[in-house]
Amino acid sequence: MSNQEPSAEFEPQITARLLVTCADRPGIVNAISNFLYSHGANITTLDQHSTDPTGGTYFSRIEFQLPHSDLPAPVLERSFQRAVGDDYEMQWKFSYASKTKKTAIFVSKYDHALLELLWRWSRGELPTEITMVVSNHPDLEEAADRFGLPFHHVPVDAENKQEAEAEMLQLLEGKADLIVLARYMQILTGDFVDRYQHQIINIHHSFLPAFVGAAPYRKAKRRGVKLIGATAHYVTEELDGGPIIEQDVIRVSHRESVDDLKALGATVERNVVARAVKWHLEDRIIVHGNRTVVFV
Could you give the string, one character per residue 23-62, with x where binding to a copy of itself holds by CB under 8 A and - elsewhere? -xxxxxxx--xx-xx--xxxxxxxxxxx--xx----x---
Q: Does 213 bind a copy of itself (CB under 8 A)?
A: no
Got the DSSP string for 72-106? -HHHHHHHHIIIIIHHHT-EEEEEETTSPEEEEEE
Contact yes or no for 225/208 (Cβ under 8 A): yes
What does the alpha-carbon distance between residue 80 and residue 11 come to, in Å, rounded to a whole number? 20
Which residues lie below 8 Å from residue 264, measured CB to CB, with a gap of 6+? 228, 250, 252, 256
For residue 293, give Cα distances in angstroms to 22, 127, 279: 13, 20, 11
Q: Among the candidate windows 81-89, 170-178, 180-188, 285-293, which touches a copy of itself by CB under 8 A? A: 285-293
Q: Does 239 bind a copy of itself (CB under 8 A)?
A: no
- Residue 258 makes contact with a copy of itself by CB under 8 A: no
223 touches a copy of itself by CB under 8 A: yes
CA gap 41, 96 in Å, rounded:
13
User: Closest CB to a copy of itself among 45 and 100?
Assistant: 45
Stretch that binds a copy of itself, among 88-96, 112-120, 129-137, 174-182 (CB under 8 A): 112-120
Query: What part of residues 188-207 is at the interface with a copy of itself (CB under 8 A)?
Result: 206-207
Distance in angstroms (rounded) separating the CA atoms of residues 75 and 79: 6
Minimum CB separation of residue 94 from a copy of itself in Å reads: 17
Q: Could you say which of 103, 108, 128, 292 contacts a copy of itself (CB under 8 A)? A: 292
| Neighbouring residues of 165: CB distance < 8 A, sequence distance ≥ 6 | 188, 189, 191, 192
Judged by DSSP in three states, 291 sits in strand
Active site (annotated) includes residue 139:
no
Alpha-carbon span 179 to 122, nearest angstrom:
18
Q: Which of residues 226, 237, 238, 239 is near a copy of itself by CB under 8 A? A: 226
CA distances from 196 to 145, 172, 187 (A): 26, 10, 14
Q: Which of 61, 112, 183, 280 binds a copy of itself (CB under 8 A)?
A: 112
The residue (of 107 and 154) whose beta carbon lies closer to a copy of itself is 107
2-10, 83-91, 178-186, 240-248 -> range binding a copy of itself (CB under 8 A): 240-248
Give me the residues that bind a copy of itself (CB under 8 A), please. Answer: 13, 15, 24-30, 33-34, 36-37, 40-50, 53-54, 59, 65, 111-112, 115, 119, 123, 125, 146, 206-210, 222-227, 229, 231, 243-249, 253-255, 263, 267, 271, 290-294, 296
- Catalytic sites, residue numbers: 240
